[in-house]
A and B are shown apart, each in its own frame.
Chain A
Amino acid sequence: MSVLREKLEHTDDLVFTAEFPSIDGGGMAAVEKNAARLAPWFDAVNATDNPAAHAHASNTTTAIAMKMHGLEPIMQIVCRDKNRLAIQSDMMGASLHGITNISLLTGDDVTAGDEPQARRVFDVDGIQAINIARGMATGSYLSGRKIDPAPDFYIGAVENAGAPPFDYRIQRALKKYRAGANFLQLQICYHPDRLEAFCKGAAELVPDLKLIPAVALVKSAKSLNFMNDKIAGIDVPAASIARIQSASDQREEVYQLTLELAKHALSLPGVRGLHITDFRHDDSLAQFMSDLARVPSY
């Protein structure tokens, strides 16, 4: 049973989701350590799929390991590394292990990563992948071959409210809903005005789509500059960077900025929760959650 689905579909509760750190070395001990840190605060946590086009432990195996350690995974699948057959087997394999929250994304290009020599796949795009997932959840593979019983997927997707063409992003949210998405995790957005326009528009056009904006806990102006320069589709306004740069305590100032963005995001129409990416890996996550009036569950 998906807690994420239960909360989003049958309650008015806010949901909090996070990004599970990529696993390279460290084995199960690394999974256990991260799971213990995140479990008290989050309803579900993303098992990413080679984020930013860097190879790591796979999405499916990470999701299984997370589940073994008490976290509810949202398994991401990106279209960059897998064709339609592999995407479907990822989903079926996840279902085999009781993983039901599936989020489908187009994904960064191979050139965003450390192996830009790789062949990009993109056999299907994010919206097509969402529709394939819905087909499976209603009892058949893309080919039409039956799956009985059908896997009980709760399907999600990602959208970027902060990238051009801004007004079209709302139409694209509708498109994802029509393809089969129930919830949308949004890309980290440092432009509150853009996020607000998107959420207002989406809440009106697609009221059943659950929106989950994202914020990132970072350490300094340097981290903001990095995101601005290196992460496709994220723009950090110069004024925000200047504000952190000129602060006597950058750590504290960027924390406050993130808290302001989070509170603003949670106040917007259509918003049913918040996604948090923690790049600080210190005790500020607990502080952040309590500043958002969250109570941990142990």
Chain B
Amino acid sequence: MLKKLLPLVEHALKAPVWDCRMCGQCVLHSTGMTCPMTCPKTLRNGPCGGVRENGNCEVKPEMKCIWVKAYDRTISLPLPKVWKEHYNDIRPPVDMRLEGSSSWINLVTKRDQQTPAGWSLKDGSH
């Protein structure tokens, strides 16, 4: 029941504010409250190299680059320090199976932190 209801509630709340795409593994807190899934390339670690001179998107010239916005907001918004520090995290690939599910449930169950066994971030291993 909750599994069916919560995604509806989550989408109803998050879509109008953040244009939420229900990826089911929300990282808004680490991206200056800017949804990376609204980047036309759905980059989790942007910005790409195609940002225009005016800071707008390569794909949608009329739109501010999501990642430029995320960067500006990470600096300017009064967010908790620990959230701001997460901006430079290397975010893992999206788990497509979670699309449409509630990221709130996945956060509580830590399902959103599960990564494939071969995903490792050993800093300095070159």
* Interface positions of A (Cβ within 8 A of B): 79-80, 84, 105-106, 108-109, 111-112, 120, 122-128, 131-132, 134-136, 138, 140-145, 155, 158-160, 163-165, 168, 171-172, 174-175, 178-180, 182, 187, 208, 232-233, 235
Write out the residue numbers on chain B whose beta carbons fall within 8 Å of the beta carbon of A135.
Answer: 118-120
Asked whether B48 is an interface residue with its Cβ less than 8 Å from the other chain, the reply is: yes
Which residue on B lies nearest to A134, using beta carbons? B125
Task: Assess the B121–A178 pair: CB atoms within 8 A.
Answer: yes
- Taken together as a complex, chains A and B put the C-alpha atoms of A135 and B115 apart, in Å, by 13
**B62: CB under 8 A from chain A?**
no
Contact B45 A233 (CB under 8 A): no
B51 near A127: Cβ-Cβ < 8 Å: no
Report which B residues bind A (CB closer than 8 A): 40-53, 55, 58-59, 65, 68, 71-72, 88, 90-94, 96, 116-123, 125-126
Contact of B90 with A127 in the complex, beta carbons under 8 Å: yes
For the complex of A and B, the 7 pairs showing the least CB-CB separation, nearest first, are A144-B117, A160-B49, A232-B50, A232-B58, A127-B45, A140-B118, A142-B118
Main secondary structure of the interface of A (DSSP, over half): loop
26 A-B pairs in the complex with CB atoms less than 8 angstroms apart = A106-B41, A106-B49, A109-B40, A109-B50, A124-B93, A125-B46, A125-B48, A128-B90, A128-B91, A131-B119, A131-B120, A134-B126, A141-B118, A143-B118, A155-B126, A164-B65, A174-B88, A175-B88, A175-B90, A178-B90, A178-B123, A179-B121, A180-B125, A208-B126, A233-B49, A233-B58
Bound CA span A182–B126, Å: 7
B9 CB, nearest partner CB in chain A, Å: 29
Q: With A and B bound together, what is the CA distance between A163 and B71 in angstroms? A: 14
Chain B nearest CB: distance from A137 CB in Å? 9
Q: Quick check: A123 and B68 within 8 Å, CB to CB?
A: no
Decide: A84 and B55 in contact? CB cutoff 8 A: no
Min C-beta distance of A198 to chain B, whole Å: 12
B88 lies within 8 A of A233 (CB): no
With a CB–CB cut-off of 8 A, which chain A residues contact B47? 163-165, 168, 172
Q: Does B119 contact A142, Cβ atoms closer than 8 Å?
A: yes
B49 contacts A165, C-beta separation under 8 Å: no
Output the residue of A136, A164, A179 with the most chain B CB within 10 A: A164
Point out the residues of chain A lying under 8 angstroms from B71, CB to CB. 165, 168
